[in-house]
Amino acid sequence: MTSPHSARPAAPAPRLIATDLDGTLLRDDKSVSERTVAALAAAERAGIEVFFVTGRPARWMDVVSAHVHGHGLAICANGAAVVDLHSGGTFVEVRPLAREVALDVVSALRAATPGVSFAVEQTTGIHYEPLYPPFFLDPGATVASAEKLLFEEEPGAAPPVIKLLAQHPDLDPDAFLATARAAAGSLASFTRSSPTALLEISGLGVSKASTLALCCAERGISAEEVVAFGDMPNDIEMLSWAGRSYAMANAHPAVIAAASGHTVANNEDGVAVVIERILAGTIDD
């Protein structure tokens, strides 16, 4: 018979660290601190793989590409793409959003949330509607209606869509997410990582967690051997899946509720703090 005061079994030694970037690993100025760089390198030397798992597209990974070690892989676009940063962001795997499904989502959201505007993230870059907040770092973007951006003359003729983005100028971000899921959650996966009313829409079942689980399975790594970090709703599934997870002090309330542990804010190197404790053997299970 187990005593209520018996020590619970120790958690398995971590074999993989999965960390979000913006608001988590990166400071608010988008830099990676020297302390964090050192912690990531020390984890790799100790045999712990580090995966960057982000909503960012592959072309925005230059902020951390120098800090990917052995495997060189990162999970981008909320799980829709696995890219090799050692080769400049080559796509290793893509889990696309079918264009006909994206068109159905556009139709459903236009009806449910008048005033919404869209952008289409493809493997080749982003394109957006006239009312969508412009991406000044993407001067090659096509500006047209989502229906035109998603049209292709023959199936497979256009680049894969890895993410549809929906922006609303007036709605509360969490209310927008809830409304969108109610209107079209059976068609695709909806999440958000921005403090504004900006939704990120992927293929049904595509998330940071599901793609991370696939990458771990390929390596024989169980969920219990993963330590995950995040700060926004697009991290919730990943934090819930991992054996140990940490919400940043600056995290969304739903993220704090989902994580098994907490650390200090991104500007205080919260990821590095936990990694240092793991390597020193002083982490609380």
**Gap between the Cα atoms of 100 and 2, Å rounded:** 55
Same domain for 191 and 270, yes or no, is no
Domain that holds residue 275: 16-94+207-280
pLDDT of residue 11: 73
Q: What is the pLDDT of residue 10?
A: 64
- Establish if 39 belongs to a structural domain: yes
Are 52 and 76 contained in the same domain?
Answer: yes
**How far apart (Å, rounded) are the C-alpha atoms in residues 259 and 78?**
18
pLDDT digits (tens, 9 = 90+) for 101-139: 999 999 999 999 999 999 999 999 999 999 998 766 677
My answer on whether 163 and 193 are in the same domain is yes
* 7-11, 61-65, 66-70, 134-138, range with the lowest pLDDT: 7-11
Spatial distance between the Cα atoms of 285 and 283, rounded to a whole number of angstroms: 6
Instruction: Give 279's pLDDT tier (boundaries 50, 70, 90).
Output: very high
Q: What is the pLDDT of residue 38?
A: 95
Select from 117, 115, 73, 77 the least CA-distant residue to 201: 77
pLDDT at 190 over 60: yes
Location of structure tokens 């159905």: 104
Structure tokens at 141: 């973007």
- Same domain for 186 and 103: yes
- Looking at residue 259, its pLDDT comes to 98
Residue predicted with more confidence, 247 or 134:
247
Looking at residue 248, its pLDDT comes to: 98
pLDDT at 241: 98
- Domain stop point among 156, 173, 203: 203
Q: Which helix (H) or strand (E) holds 31?
A: none
How far, in Å, CA of 83 to CA of 75, rounded? 6
Residues 107 and 88 in one domain: no
Within-domain flag for 1: no
Number of domains within the chain? 2
Q: What tokens were used for 173? A: 């971000």
When pLDDT is averaged across residues 63-82 and rounded to a whole number, the result is 86
Is 253 inside a domain boundary?
yes
Reported confidence tier of residue 59, pLDDT bands at 50, 70, 90:
confident
| 220 in the same domain as 80 | yes
Question: How long, in residues, is the chain?
Answer: 285
Q: How much is the pLDDT for 280? A: 94
Residue 7's pLDDT is: 44
Domain boundary among 154, 174, 203: 203
User: Is 9 part of any domain?
Assistant: no
Determine the residue type at 175.
A
Residue 179 and residue 275 in one domain: no
pLDDT score of 3 more than 60? no
Is 267 part of any domain? yes
Per the domain annotation, does 86 fall within a domain? yes
- Percent of the chain past pLDDT 90, that is, above it, reads 81
Where do runs of H (alpha helix) occur along the chain?
34-45, 99-112, 146-150, 173-184, 208-218, 236-241, 253-258, 270-280
